[in-house]
């Protein structure tokens, strides 16, 4: 063993006593320097710009903890920011709750906390409240992270399934499947050499520019677990309309396609962590595409299809590269555990 007992998390770090205090004061607080958190009261006090807010939560159990393009900490910040942003709000405050397995190395914990801190700063949000629990060795796999987030609704923005109409266009801000295939390629059980990199990124800045630059955005969602397939099917079902997409227009990194083919996955089902699907009025499609393409996170943005009246029940149909048509189903779900 290269590290000694003092380099690792003990059960007592979660006991609420002296060691909990040390963990919080030496490892956590210095990385999240803001007045609200530093007060260490039971709840954070926030003064908001508006009475109209968004509220979301996600737990992160990704395996491995560190992967090309990110880590569980970056993911935990970006994922929650993105959920707030696609709802048409400006993310302002996050909570951070850790469940840590006894014996987890402080070196790794600090690396994850640094990543959380950096990502929060990059995305202009504060971690304002938190919690740390420890569980005995074997009762959790290293570390699980929950972030909840509060966003302030952007003025005059009203997004929703109800606004979607036949003729609307479907935009995505770049290649699909990068996150999920990167994680799969780095799993111990199926590790293989690859050039894959997760797209893990905070989308609030891109989305704000889109919403401020165009009034044609009707609905947005980030296609995470379940990928584009689940997101589009959800939109179709909730809007009561069908969707037609063109395979040739969907941006896919060739290495991602190769990896998916090797492992027998459909890229449409694979998780993304830096992508947004936006439903746009037909008139605003070019304008939105231009706004995206000027942004570092939207350079490969494409219009991939449109909303159509359903012939029978709402479905998602894809015109394949060779000109055939196939229905895009919701995946059953078994393929990709612990992808985020």
Q: For residues 11 and 322, which CB has a smaller minimum distance to a second copy in the complex?
A: 11
Q: For residues 97 and 319, which CB has a smaller minimum distance to a second copy in the complex?
A: 97
Would you count residue 246 as binding a second copy (CB under 8 A)?
no
Q: For residues 187 and 209, which CB has a smaller minimum distance to a second copy in the complex?
A: 187
3-state secondary structure of 77: helix
Q: How remote is the C-alpha of 274 from its chain's centroid?
A: 6
When binding is defined by CB under 8 A, the residue of 78, 108, 109, 128 that contacts a second copy is: 128
279, 168 Cβ separation under 8 angstroms: yes
Minimal distance, residue 178 CB to a second copy, in Å: 16
- Of 52-60, 249-257, 307-315, 320-328, the window that binds a second copy (rule: CB under 8 A) is 52-60
Minimal distance, residue 202 CB to a second copy, in Å: 14
| Residue in this structure with the two tokens 């629990």, named with its chain if needed | 133
Residues in Cβ contact with 151 at an 8 Å cutoff, skipping those fewer than 6 apart: 53, 54, 55, 56, 84, 85, 87, 89, 90, 91, 92
Minimal distance, residue 114 CB to a second copy, in Å: 20
Would you count residue 8 as binding a second copy (CB under 8 A)?
no
Would you count residue 155 as binding a second copy (CB under 8 A)?
no
Q: CA neighbours within 13 Å on the CB side: how many for 173? A: 32
Residue 240 DSSP symbol: T
- Count the residues of the shown chain that bind a second copy, applying the rule CB under 8 A: 86
N- to C-terminal Cα separation, the chain: 29
By CB under 8 A, what part of segment 303-332 binds a second copy? 330-332
Q: For residues 143 and 288, which CB has a smaller minimum distance to a second copy in the complex?
A: 143
| d(C-alpha 336, C-alpha 338), whole Å | 7
204, 86 Cβ separation under 8 angstroms: no
Name the strands in the sheet holding 126-135, side by side, starting at the edge strand that comes first in the sequence: 126-135, 89-101, 143-153
Would you count residue 263 as binding a second copy (CB under 8 A)?
no
Q: What is the token pair recorded at 32?
A: 């999240």
By CB under 8 A, what part of segment 166-225 binds a second copy? 221-222, 224-225
Residue 154 DSSP symbol: P
- Of 6-14, 206-214, 278-286, 290-298, the window that binds a second copy (rule: CB under 8 A) is 6-14
260, 181 Cβ separation under 8 angstroms: yes
By CB under 8 A, what part of segment 21-50 binds a second copy? 21, 40-50
When binding is defined by CB under 8 A, the residue of 8, 9, 13, 206 that contacts a second copy is: 13
Minimal distance, residue 330 CB to a second copy, in Å: 5
Q: For residues 16 and 167, which CB has a smaller minimum distance to a second copy in the complex?
A: 16
Minimal distance, residue 286 CB to a second copy, in Å: 26
Minimal distance, residue 307 CB to a second copy, in Å: 18
Would you count residue 249 as binding a second copy (CB under 8 A)?
no
When binding is defined by CB under 8 A, the residue of 8, 28, 32, 58 that contacts a second copy is: 58
| d(C-alpha 216, C-alpha 149), whole Å | 26
By CB under 8 A, what part of segment 75-114 binds a second copy? 82-84, 86-87, 89, 93, 95-99
When binding is defined by CB under 8 A, the residue of 2, 188, 311, 334 that contacts a second copy is: 334
Residue 8 DSSP symbol: B
Cβ-based burial of 42 (10 A; exposed 0-12, middle 13-18, buried ≥19):
exposed
When binding is defined by CB under 8 A, the residue of 8, 153, 218, 275 that contacts a second copy is: 153
Minimal distance, residue 21 CB to a second copy, in Å: 7
Instruction: Please state, in angstroms and as integers, the Cα–Cα distance from residue 299 to each residue in 174, 175, 275, following that order.
Output: 7, 10, 12
Minimal distance, residue 84 CB to a second copy, in Å: 5
**What phi and psi values does residue 231 have, to the nearest 5 degrees?**
-60, -45
């Amino acid at each position: 063993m290269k590290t000694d007992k003092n380099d690792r998390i003990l059960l007592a770090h979660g006991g609420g006593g002296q060691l909990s205090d040390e963990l919080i004061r030496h490892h956590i607080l210095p990385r999240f320097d803001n007045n609200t958190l530093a007060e260490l009261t039971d709840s954070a006090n926030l003064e908001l710009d508006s009475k109209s807010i968004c509220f979301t939560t996600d737990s992160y159990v990704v395996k491995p903890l560190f992967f090309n393009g990110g880590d569980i900490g970056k993911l935990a910040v970006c994922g929650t920011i993105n959920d707030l942003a696609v709802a048409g709000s400006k993310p302002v405050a996050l909570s951070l709750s850790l469940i840590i397995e006894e014996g987890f190395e402080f070196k790794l914990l600090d690396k994850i906390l640094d990543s959380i801190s950096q990502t929060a700063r990059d995305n202009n949000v504060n971690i304002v409240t938190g919690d740390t629990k420890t569980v005995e060795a074997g009762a959790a796999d290293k570390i699980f992270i929950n972030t909840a987030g509060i966003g302030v609704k952007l003025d005059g923005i009203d997004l929703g399934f109800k606004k979607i109409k036949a003729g609307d266009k479907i935009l995505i801000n770049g290649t699909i499947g990068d996150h999920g295939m990167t994680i799969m390629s780095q799993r111990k059980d199926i590790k293989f050499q690859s050039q894959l990199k997760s797209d893990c990124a905070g989308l609030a800045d891109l989305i704000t520019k889109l919403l401020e630059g165009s009034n044609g955005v009707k609905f947005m969602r980030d296609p995470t677990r379940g990928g584009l397939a689940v997101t589009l099917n959800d939109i179709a079902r909730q809007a009561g309309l069908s969707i037609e997409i063109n395979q040739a227009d969907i941006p896919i990194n060739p290495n991602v396609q190769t990896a998916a083919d090797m492992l027998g996955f459909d890229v449409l089902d694979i998780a993304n962590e830096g992508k947004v699907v936006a439903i746009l009025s037909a008139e605003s499609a070019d304008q939105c595409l231009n706004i995206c393409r000027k942004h570092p996170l939207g350079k490969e943005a494409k219009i991939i299809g449109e909303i159509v009246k359903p012939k029978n029940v709402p479905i998602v149909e894809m015109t394949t590269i060779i000109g055939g048509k196939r229905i895009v189903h919701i995946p059953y779900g078994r393929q990709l555990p612990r992808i985020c």
